[in-house]
Amino acid sequence: MVLQAVLGDLLVLDLSEGIAGPLCARLLGDYGADVIKIEPPGGECGRRMPPFFHDDPNPEKSLFFLLANLNKRGATLDLARPEGADLFRRLARSADVIVESFAPGYLASLGLDHATLEQDNPGLVMTSITPFGQTGPYSHYKGNEIVAYATSGIMTISGTTDREPLQHGGFPAQYEAAMNGMLATNVALLTRDLNGLGQHVDVSMQEVVASSLVINQPYYSFTGGVQGRRRPEGSSFGHVTPCKDGYFVSQEGGGVTWNGIADFFGREELKEPRFADPTQRLHNGPALDAIILDATKDRTMAEMFRTASEQYRMLFGIVQTPEDLATCPQLEAREFYQEVEHPVIGRIRVPFRMWNMSAAAASCRRPAPLLGQHNSEVFTRLGCSEAEIGTLRERGII
Amino acid sequence: MAIDKQDADRAATLPLAGLRIIDISNVFSLPYAGGLLADLGAEVIKVEGPGRLDVSRGGAFSGVFPENEPGEDPWNRSSTFNLLNRGKKSLAIDLRRPEGREVLKDLIRVSDVLMENFTPRVMRGWELDYPNAKKLNPNVIMVSCSGYGPHGPYAQYPAQATTQEATHGLAHVTGYRGEEPSKAGQSFVDFLATWALVMGTTLALRYRHRFGKGLWVDVAMYQLGCYMVADRILDWEANQRRGERIGNRHPWLAPQGCYPCAGEDQWCVVSVHDDAEWAALCRAIGRPELARDARFADNGARMRNHDAIDPIIAAWMAGVSKIDAMERLQAAGVRAGAVFDARDMHLNPHAKARGLLETVQFPAERGIGRRPVIGRPWRLSKTPLGVRGPAPMLGQHNREVLQDILGYDDARCAEMEQSGLLGTHPTTPRPVFRMSMDERVQRGRLAYWDPDYKERLGIQD
């Protein structure tokens, strides 16, 4: 099947650093855009993020950097120097999208903000992904994963009442902000396809995480109720529970009755009204905990996942580790992984495909760029001669 | 309900103006995506059955009723349903009957996008999967959302976000340090799916615009969830590291944590990324000498001695409010954030200035009044977006869809109404869950509640 790349007509300049911005620009690249990553001559901070390939902290071996910068070419440019800013201004004339993650106001101080750049390029879309957005009293605040979690409201309902609020593991706020950056960029591009005008897209990581609270938020605006963390006891059913070789979680609903759930656990007493009746069950949490813990202590995750899902049609999850995901047959069937050949790391399999899309699926065409790898082709295209590029390099501008 | 002229003018300039989307959706992920596409200007027709209502119209996933009162038509009043389904039209038609599916086929012929989140076998069984939908409308875009995807060994497994967050790898890395895995919060992967569905739909629209053809967007929630731990999977692939639970600490920077502030259940997080930020923190908490302490001299030392740093930060936090802590630390250049709860999210000055929450005015006869709901976490400088109207009552637009869009005559519609193919009331209403606000607090379902919340929000009438 011949793939027709949805964004194959676009040039994207990626000035962003860290995870969310770079991943947003990469997603545009996954759907065909020509993405040029522009880093300061010393490399962006993402190159110093663990984990590293074979734990070697070489700036070309950050696995996070690899992940967030697939499908890009790489150039270096010191925007803080007038010659650097001028070169960027020239690049921006033919760009369709710029992705950036600087503190609000920084690009304006260099004369590189959207309002200035669009004077030479009215179709330019600029997407800014920042901790708190471009406006408002917290817009100058510094942020990161846990700050987004705390200020979005989600931490206040995560964890247990006897302990502190708990962030989620990993970097979900960064990934979610990348997704929202990409979709808001798509919206701006659809608008541009209609009227020819680019615009500035302002994505707030705090708001991205807050936007997932679709029970919590209107609970307050409809009743004044404020949710908190769950109580620690009486929670085996519907929460993570240990079994022989790990942990599982099961829920009511799906295609199963409560009696079916009792049969799955193999305990007749679960059919008694004190558990079968949802209201009575609320009062009998600790007793329910004890029965379920005993019923599953000799059963494995894999067996229960299969039996519950296939025979009982239960909503059932098991706590899978990264190793489990690396060998998961379902992810294999979804073509989740792609192999890339990286000049320093070598051949490596990376999680790649977010979803499937028949004739226009995401395509993996390039590994992450080495620092300044494509300087010559990027600046030659601007009309710089090899000698001029050499001078720029000597002066530390690229 | 007709939108007034000003709204119509504004809608005409929106990116999805003039597009019709069929939204056969349930619960959170796809309904929310449909609501966002309505914000972008599309005409979104939500299709439910009088005997198969969206689960979020009642029961565990529906949130609450205004003033905790179910009213005469509880299925139209739940908070979460009304947030997710804003700006849509409602067609309530029984798709289990072949006559109902004939109407759906007519609608597919005149629509741009068909969105659904059934288990994969349902649309296939009705011969309304993508290959069949394309026969009805060659350029149609189909958007499907399922638990595991239509193919592969887990394709037919029942799925829901709350159990999937274990299976897709998030629970393994979420939890207090060194303790058992924990579930994240509310249906986390549903919202990943929402973002992916809007990404996929907007890409597909651009694809159709450029190449003149539709396509199929196939989103599996499990796969998306796994993507959110991609860095951990790579760490396994390269270094055979399984990852661990570290609570509120940062995997490679220190210190970071969540500390109790003055007052009850008040918290603030702090995160230090480098030596300069550490020195700034030491000054801000009145312990400048610690910046020169060898135990905390660089990030590696701070990682090793994190346990010694926590009580020092905690001692300062205990004497200040969470807002003071955040403001003072941020002013000093230190990453910090108050742990906001639902009340804070409505009332803090930044949220107010940004306008993330938008107030929806419901028609007087619905008895809901004005209610703030989540808008969108992004702003476009030249395209002002907004929630375009309240969520519809069940079957509110049955006649409008059948007569105005499909051109059916009055007699045909009346016959469908009489036979129960169309409806505006559920055929078997769900039992309504009742519990007073005070009892919800007592049972631990709520931390607290504000009887005067309407005054606080300025929505008293």
In terms of Cα–Cα distance, which of A255, A290, A253 is closest to A269? A290
Determine the length of chain B: 461
pLDDT at B3: 43
pLDDT tens digits, B432-444: 888 999 999 998 8
Contact A212 B188 (CB under 8 A): yes
Within B153-257, residue ranges assigned H as helices are 161-167, 170-173, 188-211, 221-227, 230-239
Q: Judge contact between A37 and A72, C-beta under 8 A.
A: yes
Mean pLDDT of chain B: 94
Contact B180 A247 (CB under 8 A): yes
Distance CA B3, CA B254 (A): 54
pLDDT at A253: 80
Mean pLDDT of chain A: 95
B180: Cβ contacts below 8 Å, ≥ 6 apart: A240, A242, A247, B245
User: What is the rounded average pLDDT of the residues A244-251?
Assistant: 94
Q: Which of B58-67, B110-119, B429-438 has the lowest mean pLDDT?
A: B58-67
Chain A partners within 8 Å of B28 (Cβ):
214
pLDDT tens digits, B131-176: 999 999 999 999 999 999 999 999 999 988 888 999 999 999 999 9
Torsion angles phi and psi, residue A283, rounded to 5: -85, -10
Residues 157-176 of A with CB under 8 A from B: 157-159, 161, 163-172, 175-176
Cα A186-B41-B13 angle, rounded to 5 deg:
85
Measure Cα distances from A101 to A77, A131, A176, B61 in Å: 16, 9, 15, 36
Measure Cα distances from A381 to A77, A87, A179 in Å: 15, 11, 31
Determine the length of chain A: 398
List the single best residue of B234, B241, B271, B435 to mutate versus A (max A Cβ within 10 A): B234
CA distance A376 to chain B (A): 31
The answer to whether A186 faces chain B, any CB pair under 8 Å, is yes
Q: What percent of chain A has pLDDT over 70?
A: 98
pLDDT tens digits, B223-278: 999 999 999 999 999 999 988 899 999 999 999 999 999 999 999 999 999 999 99
Q: Judge contact between A32 and A55, C-beta under 8 A.
A: no
Instruction: Find the residue in A nearest to B457 (Cα).
Output: A221
Chain B partners within 8 Å of A28 (Cβ):
none
Is residue A349 packed enough to be buried (19+ CB in 10 Å), middle (13-18) or exposed (0-12)? Answer: middle
Instruction: Find the residue in B nearest to A220 (Cα).
Output: B342
User: What is the rounded average pLDDT of the residues B44-52?
Assistant: 96
Chain A partners within 8 Å of B146 (Cβ):
none
Torsion angles phi and psi, residue A351, rounded to 5: -65, 130
Distance CA B49, CA B318 (A): 54
In terms of Cα–Cα distance, which of A34, A169, A54, A77 is closest to B188? A169
Contact B199 A228 (CB under 8 A): no
Chain A partners within 8 Å of B182 (Cβ):
158-159, 166, 239-240
CA distance B233 to chain A (A): 5
The total of other beta-carbon atoms located within 10 Å of residue B373's CB is 24
* HSE toward the beta carbon, residue B171, CA cutoff 13 A: 28
**Whether the predicted pLDDT of B2 surpasses 50:** no
Q: Where does the pLDDT of residue A279 fall: very low under 50, low under 70, confident under 90, or very high at 90 and above?
A: confident
In terms of Cα–Cα distance, which of B239, B412, B253, B248 is closest to B339? B248
The total of other beta-carbon atoms located within 10 Å of residue B9's CB is 10
Is residue A385 packed enough to be buried (19+ CB in 10 Å), middle (13-18) or exposed (0-12)? Answer: exposed
Q: Judge contact between A54 and A93, C-beta under 8 A.
A: no
In terms of Cα–Cα distance, which of A264, A249, A362 is closest to A313? A264
What does the H/E/C string look like for A210-267?
Answer: HCCCCCHHHHHHHHCEECCCECCCCCCCCCCEECCCCEEEEECCCCCCHHHHHHHHCC
Give this complex's ipTM.
Answer: 0.96
Distance CA A15, CA B444 (A): 46
* HSE toward the beta carbon, residue B291, CA cutoff 13 A: 16
The answer to whether B75 faces chain A, any CB pair under 8 Å, is no
Contact B336 A4 (CB under 8 A): no
Instruction: Find the residue in B nearest to A243 (Cα).
Output: B180
Question: What amino acid positions of B are annotated as catalytic residues?
Answer: 190
The answer to whether A30 faces chain B, any CB pair under 8 Å, is no
The answer to whether B221 faces chain A, any CB pair under 8 Å, is no
Chain A partners within 8 Å of B317 (Cβ):
none
Contact B378 A27 (CB under 8 A): no
